[in-house]
Amino acid sequence: MSRTPHNPWLELGSGPLIAPSLLACDFARLGEQVDAVTAAGGDAIHIDVMDGHLVDNLSVGPPVVASLRKYTDTVLDVHIMVTNPAYYVERFIETGADSVTFHIEAVDRPVELADRLHEAGRGAGVVLRPATPADAIAQAAAAVDMVLVMTVEPGFGGQHFMQDMLPKIEAVRAMLRDDQRLQVDGGINEETAARCAAAGADVFVTGNYVFAGSDMSGAIGRLRRAVGG
């Protein structure tokens, strides 16, 4: 399917959003899983891209995102965990990704990278690892559409939520305008999502909580109720 470039974080409305993470899906049934989680109420599909350098794991790359773009109109929210974000931003613009979120730890000029995504009609986000303080994004915060606070160490799914990230979520929220999104990713279920929402988060990436069970609609519904959606 073809799409006109756009910024999804300005178009998806002002309420809380649920973004199921494909890292937890059954890749042998990728299209079917995308259809199922979209039908179950997912607002966006979160895609984790890992190069084995910035984080100790490998995952999908541009060809998979390009195939998904042809398959679905659902918003593709791409989180790049790579050591050369400037190169991969261009590759994911080419794939038709709707938004690309890059790590503040991997860039020298985050504002320029956000500007490039906006020039291409894409959403731009910046990510903080757990050990990175909130003030690391002070100069970039105004230039992006979304900040992602990792609530586990990035690289692997199925980890436990880090409660000590809640003060960081509050600190980041204080830096953002009302029209900017604050995403959380890692160990998100109805209990931890509610805590993150209270701290200021409004986009919730969830993997195993949705994909590991037999009732995706029920899981997403519980999450949405927990965060006041």
Note whether 182 and 176 are within 8 A (CB): yes
Among residues 43, 48, 77, 145, the one annotated as catalytic is 48
Q: Looking at per-residue confidence, does 35 or 2 come out higher?
A: 35
Rounded to whole angstroms, how far apart are CA atoms 146 and 144? 6
- Ramachandran sector of residue 96 (left: φ over 0; alpha: ψ -120 to 50; beta: rest): left
Q: In which band, very low, low, confident or very high, does the pLDDT at 7 lie, cut at 50, 70 and 90? A: confident
CB under 8 Å to 37, separation ≥6 — which residues? 20, 25, 45, 210, 211, 216, 220
Q: Name the CATH architecture for the domain at 18-226.
A: Alpha-Beta Barrel (3.20)
Q: Is 98 a catalytic residue?
A: no
Q: In which band, very low, low, confident or very high, does the pLDDT at 4 lie, cut at 50, 70 and 90? A: low
Per-residue pLDDT for 192 more than 90?
A: yes
Sign of the alpha-carbon dihedral angle for 203, 182, 123, 206: negative
Q: What is the pLDDT of residue 5?
A: 66
Q: Is 164 a catalytic residue?
A: no
- The residues spanned by each domain of the chain are 18-226
Residue 29, helix vs strand vs coil = helix
Per-residue pLDDT for 174 more than 70?
A: yes
Among residues 77, 98, 185, 202, the one annotated as catalytic is 185
